[in-house]
Structures are given as structure tokens and as C-alpha cells.
Amino acid sequence: MARQPKKTFNEKELSKGELRKLTAIRKSLGDKIGDKAFAEWLKNKPSPSNPVDRNAELLVSAIEILRKNEKTFRIPRGGYLVTTGRAGVSVKPAKK
């Protein structure tokens, strides 16, 4: 009886997309080779990073400039609602 290769991944911890990829590889290559190929792919897969919101970064940099230059600049506890439209940018106090 042939030895079963050790799995380097736990199927219960995989995401839905990763499970789909694993089953597709198993169907095309077979269970043994498919598990080995998937483990190699999983090892070389880049780790997910948090996506950067460029608009939020622009707002933060603009507010930082105001905060440094204006002595009386403050943001109330509820914050503001910023919207854009045909008329331009609208800034209103957020509703409580």
C-alpha cells in the first residue's frame, strides 16, 4: 500500500474560492498530485493586504494641513457628512 503524502493545509480553513480551486485541481490531476500542486500554490500565494482607499488618504492629508495651520480647527464628536454632486462638495453636520 502506497504512503499518503501529508497535507500541508487544512481544508476546513480554506475560503470558498480556494476550495473551488482545490476541487478543480483534484478533478484534473487526481487527488495525490492535486493536493501536492495546491499546497505548492497555497505556499506561493501572496498574503492579502488591506486595500488602500485613495480618497480617504486625500481627505486625511487635507485635514492634517488644516489642523496644523488653524488653531481653532476641531471636528465635533458626531463628525460631518461629506457629499459630492453637480453643485460641488457639500459638508453638513452628521445627524445624531
Residue 61, domain member (yes or no): yes
Longest distance between any two alpha carbons in the chain, whole Å: 79
Place of cell 494641513: 65
Residue 39 lies in a domain: yes
Percentage of the chain surpassing pLDDT 90? 41
Beta bridge pairs of residue 45: none
Rounded to an integer, the average pLDDT of 54-62 is: 90
The predicted structure's pLDDT at residue 58: 92
Q: Where are the beta strands (DSSP E) in 1-96?
A: 80-85, 88-93
| 58, 85: one domain | yes
Q: Kindly tell me the burial class for residue 44, based on how many C-beta atoms sit within 10 Å of its own C-beta (0-12, 13-18, 19 or more).
A: exposed
pTM of this prediction exceeds 0.75: no
**Quick check: is 3 in a domain?**
no
Query: In this structure, what C-alpha cell is assigned to residue 2?
Result: 502506497
Does residue 2 sit within a domain? no
Cα(9)–Cα(34) distance, integer angstroms = 13
Between 65 and 51, the higher pLDDT residue: 65
- Residue-range definition of the domain harbouring residue 24: 11-44
- For residue 41, the model assigns a pLDDT of 92
User: Do both 60 and 88 map to the same domain?
Assistant: yes
Is 70 exceeded by the pLDDT of residue 4? no
Query: Considering its fold, how many domains does the chain have in total?
Result: 2
Q: What confidence tens digit (pLDDT) does each residue in 29-53 have?
A: 999 999 999 999 999 988 777 788 8
Amino acid sitting at position 81: L
pLDDT at 24 (0 to 100): 96
Residue 96 has pLDDT above 90, yes or no: no
Q: How far apart are CA 23 and CA 35, in angstroms?
A: 9
